[in-house]
Structure 1
């Protein structure tokens, strides 16, 4: 199963671990969309920045 992740909030002023997590997912700009295979590692990254992203299952 795949999950579509959209960055909806700015990374400016966020904690460094949240910024690095977003960049590791491939999110750099607001409204940027990436698709990843759903697994434990991706779920943990989504939980770290859940307040900054919109998640949809594909």
Structure 2
């Protein structure tokens, strides 16, 4: 987490075979391909999405 209240996440596992709502959460975070990264605002909603799919992503 950086000083300007953003979180950087990286997709490290494939969402293939996961629940449909978990795949939708991955897309909602702006992650597409494996190892893609996205920089997001640090809000409670984003934190909840990260917690939901924590087994698929890595917070950088």
User: Which structure shows the bigger proportion of residues in strand conformation?
Assistant: 1
Whole-angstrom CA distance in 2 between matches of 1:25 and 1:2:
13
RMSD: 0.6
Residue in structure 2 matching 1:8, options 8, 12, 19: 12
Q: For residues 1-58 of structure 1, what are the structure 2 equivalents within 5 Å?
A: 1-56=5-60
Q: Secondary structure at the match of 2:35?
A: coil
The CA distance in 2 between the partners of 1:6 and 1:21, in whole Å, is 13
Q: TM-score, normalised by structure 1?
A: 0.93
Shift of the alpha carbon at 1:55? 0.5
Deviation readout 1:17-49 (Å, 9 max, x if unpaired): 100000011111100000001010000000110
> Hey, which bits of structure 1, 4+ residues long, moved more than 2 A?
none
In structure 1, runs of 5+ residues without a counterpart are none
